Each structure stands twice: as C-alpha cells, then as structure tokens.
Structure 1
Amino acid sequence: MRIVVTGGAGFLGSRVIRLLLERQDAGSAPLAFDSVVSFDLAQCPVDDPRVSSVVGDIADPALIAEVITPDTVAVYHLAAVLSGGSEEDFDLAMTVNVDGTRALLEAARTTGAAPRFVFTSSLAVFGGAMPDVVPEELATRPESTYGAFKAIGELLVNEYSRKGFVDGRVLRLPTISVRPGRPNSAASSFASGILREPLNGQPSQVPVPLETRMWLSSPDVAVRNLVHALEVDGDQIGPWRTLNLPGITVTVSQMLESLERVGGQQARALVTEVPDQRINDIVGSWPGDFDVERPLALGFQRDETFDAVVTQYRNEFVG
C-alpha cells in the first residue's frame, strides 16, 4: 500500500513525507501504508528505504498511470506552478495546475480503489468585495490565473468525490511563513523573505502596504494539518470537501514588529518598503481572516502567536 506525494521533493512535500514516516514509526500513522512515492521534477531529499522517487511531468498520463496504482491508498497533490509563475506563463499553469490535476484524478479513478485525495488549494481562489471575516460558504471569485486554476481544481476534486471516484479533501492553505531556503515564484514569497533574510543578516523589501492583512501558518503547523487530513473521515467533512485551514491574522506591520522583537533592531533595519503593484494586485485580493470553527472542531490546528513562528524559524535555521 502506497501514498503518492506530488511535489514530494519540495519544501512542504518532503516535510509531509518525513512526518508520515515518523508517525508510522511511532505507531500513529493516519492510515496504513508500506511505502511513499515522491512524484516531482527532482529526486526527493528524504533518505529512507520506504521512499522512492519518480521524476517526471505530472501532466503525463502514461507516467501517472505507473505511479498511481490499485494499491495507492492516498494521494497528496501538492505540485503546482505558483502564483507569480502562473501569472507570467498561462499555458504552463494550465498544463500543470489544471491538466495535471485532472490527469491525477483520472488515474485515481481508473484504479477503482477510491483513494483519499488531498488537494492543496489557496486563498487566491477569493477576490472582489469580502467581509472582514470570510465565512465557509463564501463563493470563490479569483483575480489571478493561479487562483482561477486552483478554483477549477477544487471543483474537480469535489466532483470526483461526489461520484465516489476518490475520497477528497480540499485544503485551502494559509500563506506559509517562515519558509527556509530561497525565494520562490509565489507572489506571497515576501511573507517569508522579510523575516528570513533579515534574520540571516541580509536586506529585504516589502512590496505591499504595511497595513496589508495576511492569513498565515507556520510550516510545522501546515504540515501537521496536511497529515491530519488523512485521519479525518470523509463523512465528517461532509459532501462539500473544501476546508479553509486555520491560520492567524497578522498585518505586515505586525510581522515586522515580531521580527524586531525576535531578531532585534538591526534585523528590522534591513527591511525597506519598495512598492510592487503587480504583487500588491495579487496579494491584496486575498482575504485576511476566516471563520475556521469547523476545521478546528475537526482537529486541525493553528499557531498561537506570530512571535512564536518567527522564533521557531530562528532557532531551527539561523546558525
């Protein structure tokens, strides 16, 4: 029995794989499995005999059919062209984010096993006029290519679940901060950069107004929630399989205040305001707060404070 993780070589995917293995070793795996297959454009960095890598294109139906087999008990679909990259390359985003998602669902359907299918979506599915706190039933109105294609993916997973082809869970992730490593093509990449770079003694820039509200989750909490998604019975979620995962609301100004408390004035001084209208148009359309009473009741978690998030990054990654 295998679990397939698209994007398994990436930051979140590799952490999901590690936590699945840790939970298995501890006898608390969310479901029974023997192996994990990372499906990505690069080799998975997790060194464990239970993990294998398939390097290739998630929009290749023949390759997907080799990866998603009748003994596949769960699929994590994390791979995607991110927000900035989607806006710049519509065709690539369509191929990966829409065609790839449908190809994975079709492969899962073909097995006849109805595996659990965890699809990571985004705040980018929202746009237009929004209330201060977004309720569960608010309709999507994306204002970016990335958001539009994530909304299509949500509908596909819900429909394949309604038909009994997969047992889906659509998880709208908060913006993840603080990510280690290098900046990526996400429009929200600055939400990590304005903390990560200064804590490592490097300058960074804020491209959006300081009063911009962000809906944030630490990497550790996000990964725990992704693994927990396999534990929640589909009937508990209900016929509509989409959940807004818990986060915390923090303005960019408050993020920088946390940076100063954790890293000192010298770290805060490395951050300057350099407006970028392209980024602001994307990020500014996203909600800053959600009603997450139901996901919390289902056992999903949220961070306590943003100071704790920044402190965790500093303690783990700053030498």
Structure 2
Amino acid sequence: MKILVTGGAGFLGARLIEALLAPTASDLLPPDASLVSVDLAPCPIDDPRVVSHTGDICDPVFIKSLIGPETSLVYHLAAIVSGQAEADFDLGMRVNFDATRALLEACRQQGQAPRFVFASSLAVFGGPMPEQVPEELAPLPQSSYGAQKAMAELLINDYSRKGFIDGRVCRLPTISVRPGKPNAAASSFASGILREPLAGEASNCPVPLDTRMWLSSPQTVVDNLVHAARLDGQALGLRRTLNLPGISVRVSEMLDSLARVGGEAARARVSFEPDERIQRIVCSWPGDFDIQRPLQLGFRGDADFDSVVRAHQHSMNH
C-alpha cells in the first residue's frame, strides 16, 4: 500500500505528509505502508516511511514510474501558482494541466482506481457572481491559473465517471497565514500583510480594503485534505468538486484582526500601494460560498479570523 503526494516538498505538501504520518491517520497510512513525496526538491520530513523522489512532474515517463498497483491514494498538490501561471502561460499549462493529465493517465493504466485528491482553487470562478456562490455555479475563470485548474477538474470528474480513479476535487480557500517568504501567488499578500507586520517588518496591501477574501488557516486546510481521502466516493455522487469551508472576510477586517492580535504598531507597518496586475486576478475571485454540502460531509472551517492570526503568532514564538 502506497500514498503518493505531488508537491511534497512544498509548504502545504510537507504539512500534509506530517498529518498522514500521525497515528490519527493510520487508517490511510498503516504502519507497513509507504508514502512517496514527489517534487523538484527532497521532502523535508525525516521519516523512514517517506520515500522522496525529485523530478519533473511534466515528464510522463517519470510520473509513470511512480504509480503502481500498490498506489491506493494520490494527492496532487504540485502546481505553478497564480501569478506565475499568468505571466508564463506555457509553463502554467505544462505543470497545471498537462502534468495532471499525465498523472491521471498513469493511474488509469494501472487499472486499480486509486483515490485521487486534487487541490483546486476558488480561482476557477470569475465574472458576474452572486454575493454568496452556490455550489452549482459554473466556473468562469478570469486567469490562466483558474482556467488550468478548471480543466483539470473536468478531467478528474470524467476519469471518476469512467471508473479510472475515485476522485475528489478540493477547491481550497486562500491559505492565510502562510509562514515563510512571499511567493509568486497573486494572493501572497493575504499572508504578507499579517506575517511580516507580526514579525516587525513592513508589508504592502495591493488591493482595495473592501476586497472580500475566502480564507482558511493552514491547519484547517490540511485537516480537510486528510478528511477528503476518507470520504466514500458514493457520498459525492456525480459532483466530485467541493468548495472547502473558509472564512469570508474583507481585507479591512483582516487588518482589524492584525491590530487586535499584534497591536496598532503592527497594523501601522502595512502600506497601501495598488497593483493592477494583482487586483485583476484577486478581485475576480468570489469572497463567500455556500458550504452546506461540505459541512454535511464532515469538512470544517476555522472559528473566526482572530483565532487564525493568533495561531500564526503562537507558531512564531514556538
């Protein structure tokens, strides 16, 4: 029995691997099973059950070598982030779409129909939208990243319909607060305007204060990804896509949380220089979702945004 995690060396992938190695996930990863991390860099998790493979997921031969009859569960997290995919269309298509199809084909050729958990994004939505997005709203992405994720979603639904895989598409909220450094994601500021000020550093907010975001803490996203693998595929039915729970919060409210948790001095470290490129992408995303079905299926959200900021502050001090 084997679990495969693409993007296993990344921030989210490494946290997911840690969660899968915990005793509470022994139903997914029994003691005699192995976990394979695939990324451009080695997995940072030091555990005898983790096998780290470095390589290009755009190489179908490399991907095919990683999938076997013993592969029972695949987490596909590897991706080119939104800003980078918008700037380099060809790279985004290769990594976000072509590699996903190659991975699905490798699963299909084994004939075992593994459970397949795909990390998608709220960026699949765009254009005119109601205040709260219903689950059945059709995707209309306004970025190349969103389009690539939407195309991959359709493939996963069809491969599931055909019985090639047992897929679950998890549209992740924007993750905040991410530790580390800013990245090329258009939503990177959603962590930067909290993380840097709490660390005593300046940060810039590139979008209007009334921009509404759909946010989730890193731990809640990881918990929900683990839960997605436990779901019975029949409970999902024909609709394999799920808008994972988040918190609907305006940027101004995020900064209010920053002030309550870190003090007014922290909030004062945030400047406001607009960036049209980031606004064009982020402001096309929805800021609130109807999550009745995911909640009924056992997914959960954060209690409130203050608790998210406090959790990050606590992690900084330990």
Query: Could you tell me the TM-score, scaled by structure 2's length?
Result: 0.98
Structure 1 equivalent of residue 163 of structure 2: 164
Assess if the C-alpha contact under 8 Å between 1:75 and 1:115 holds in 2.
Answer: yes
Structure 2 equivalent of residue 75 of structure 1: 74
Assess if the C-alpha contact under 8 Å between 1:31 and 1:231 holds in 2.
Answer: no
Distance 1:219 1:29 in 2: 22
What SS does the aligned partner of 1:230 have?
Answer: helix
Structure 2 equivalent of residue 255 of structure 1: 254
| Cα displacement string for residues 240-271 of structure 1 (whole angstroms, at most 9, x for unaligned residues) | 10000000101000000000000001100100
Structure 2 equivalent of residue 29 of structure 1: 27
Distance 2:216 2:146 in 1: 19
Distance 1:257 1:53 in 2: 42
What SS does the aligned partner of 1:15 have?
Answer: helix
Distance 1:240 1:139 in 2: 12
Distance 2:2 2:162 in 1: 23
Following superposition, the deviation at residue 39 of structure 1 comes to 0.5
What SS does the aligned partner of 1:229 have?
Answer: helix
Following superposition, the deviation at residue 29 of structure 1 comes to 2.9
Distance 1:283 1:318 in 2: 31
Assess if the C-alpha contact under 8 Å between 1:109 and 1:166 holds in 2.
Answer: yes
Distance 2:56 2:41 in 1: 10
Structure 2 equivalent of residue 15 of structure 1: 15
Assess if the C-alpha contact under 8 Å between 1:30 and 1:228 holds in 2.
Answer: no
Structure 1 equivalent of residue 2 of structure 2: 2
Following superposition, the deviation at residue 275 of structure 1 comes to 0.3
Distance 1:126 1:278 in 2: 17
Distance 2:60 2:287 in 1: 37
Query: Given residue 29 of structure 1, which amino acid in structure 2 is its aligned partner?
Result: D
Query: Given residue 300 of structure 2, which amino acid in structure 1 is its aligned partner?
Result: Q
What SS does the aligned partner of 1:223 have?
Answer: helix
Structure 1 equivalent of residue 178 of structure 2: 179
Query: Could you tell me the TM-score, scaled by structure 1's length?
Result: 0.98
Assess if the C-alpha contact under 8 Å between 2:39 and 2:56 holds in 1.
Answer: yes
Query: Given residue 12 of structure 2, which amino acid in structure 1 is its aligned partner?
Result: L
Distance 1:7 1:120 in 2: 11
1:51 and 2:15 are equivalent in the alignment: no
Assess if the C-alpha contact under 8 Å between 2:20 and 2:29 holds in 1.
Answer: no
Structure 2 equivalent of residue 235 of structure 1: 234
Distance 2:177 2:62 in 1: 34
1:39 and 2:38 are equivalent in the alignment: yes
What SS does the aligned partner of 1:208 have?
Answer: coil
| Cα displacement string for residues 191-236 of structure 1 (whole angstroms, at most 9, x for unaligned residues) | 0000000000000000000000000000000000000001110000
Percentage of identical aligned residues: 65
Structure 2 equivalent of residue 198 of structure 1: 197
Following superposition, the deviation at residue 311 of structure 1 comes to 0.2
Following superposition, the deviation at residue 293 of structure 1 comes to 0.5
What SS does the aligned partner of 1:128 have?
Answer: coil
Query: Given residue 2 of structure 2, which amino acid in structure 1 is its aligned partner?
Result: R
What SS does the aligned partner of 2:146 have?
Answer: helix
Distance 2:181 2:172 in 1: 20
Following superposition, the deviation at residue 31 of structure 1 comes to 5.9
Superposed CA RMSD in Å reads 1.0
Distance 1:122 1:266 in 2: 33
Following superposition, the deviation at residue 126 of structure 1 comes to 0.5
| Cα displacement string for residues 49-76 of structure 1 (whole angstroms, at most 9, x for unaligned residues) | 0001110011111111111111000100
Structure 1 equivalent of residue 95 of structure 2: 96
Assess if the C-alpha contact under 8 Å between 2:42 and 2:53 holds in 1.
Answer: yes
Following superposition, the deviation at residue 10 of structure 1 comes to 0.4
Query: Given residue 112 of structure 2, which amino acid in structure 1 is its aligned partner?
Result: A
Assess if the C-alpha contact under 8 Å between 1:200 and 1:318 holds in 2.
Answer: no
Stretches of structure 2 that go unaligned for 5 or more consecutive residues are: none
Query: Given residue 10 of structure 2, which amino acid in structure 1 is its aligned partner?
Result: G
Distance 1:315 1:287 in 2: 29
Number of equivalent positions: 317
What SS does the aligned partner of 2:219 have?
Answer: helix
Distance 1:26 1:275 in 2: 44
Distance 1:259 1:188 in 2: 17
1:122-133 equivalent positions in 2, closer than 5 A: 122-133=121-132
Following superposition, the deviation at residue 317 of structure 1 comes to 1.8
| Cα displacement string for residues 150-186 of structure 1 (whole angstroms, at most 9, x for unaligned residues) | 0000001001000000000000000000000011111
Query: Given residue 209 of structure 1, which amino acid in structure 2 is its aligned partner?
Result: P
Following superposition, the deviation at residue 28 of structure 1 comes to 4.5
Query: Given residue 45 of structure 2, which amino acid in structure 1 is its aligned partner?
Result: V
What SS does the aligned partner of 2:4 have?
Answer: strand
Assess if the C-alpha contact under 8 Å between 1:20 and 1:29 holds in 2.
Answer: no
